[in-house]
Amino acid sequence: MKAFLPVTRVIDAINQWLGRRIAWLILAAVLVSAVNAIVRKAFDTSSNAWLELQWVLFSMVFLLCSPWTLLANEHIRIDIVNNMLPKRVRDGIDVIGHAFFLLPLTVVMIVTGIPFFLRSYEINEQSGNAGGLPQWPSKALIMIGFTLLLAQGISELIKRIAIMRGLIPDPHVNQTSTLEAEVEHIVEAVEKR
């Protein structure tokens, strides 16, 4: 297991670097949306390409930042139930969830996403809307995003097994959710009064 830990550091570094940069596309999507709305109201005109660009930017953030979300342990789970379980059980749930649900899903999405993209690229598929964007770059995001998520899922699985074996400390052991931190902050403020 120790031999694979350097690989996890490389995967983690790539997904963190990419996630931090791609997340800024939310701002770009908001700006495109705002300008598009202003132009539509002020000049009574619109562009399908700009409307579709909003969706592509959002899709890029969603698909390419999901590995970073998994790395940061910010993915969706039922924290109330999860936090009531012993750490060993939570670790076991993570291992089973990654090995039998996350990784197979990513493989299926990659295997089905590649021909989906290739066919779109071969025919130079365009939007069904007049003046819309080409479709194949958006379809490429599916296989790229799920490939990155597969790599991060493997990294998380290796790290979780190493944590369970006591080879590395758990980086998320003292991590509290944003909601929990906010509640603690409010409680402290009330107690000071």
Tens-level pLDDT at each residue, the chain (193 residues): 789 999 999 999 999 999 999 999 999 999 999 999 999 999 988 888 999 999 999 999 999 999 999 999 888 777 777 778 888 998 999 999 999 999 999 999 999 999 999 999 999 999 988 888 999 999 999 999 999 999 999 999 999 999 999 999 988 877 655 556 666 767 777 777 6
Domain segments of the chain as ranges: 2-76+84-177
Neighbours of 146 (CB within 10 A): 23
User: In 23-135, where does DSSP find H-type helix?
Assistant: 25-43, 48-71, 79-84, 87-97, 103-122
Largest CA distance in the chain: 67
How is residue 154 written in tokens?
């493997």
Whole-prediction pTM: 0.85
Buried b (16+ CB within 10 A) or exposed e, 12-30: bebbeeebeebeebeeebe
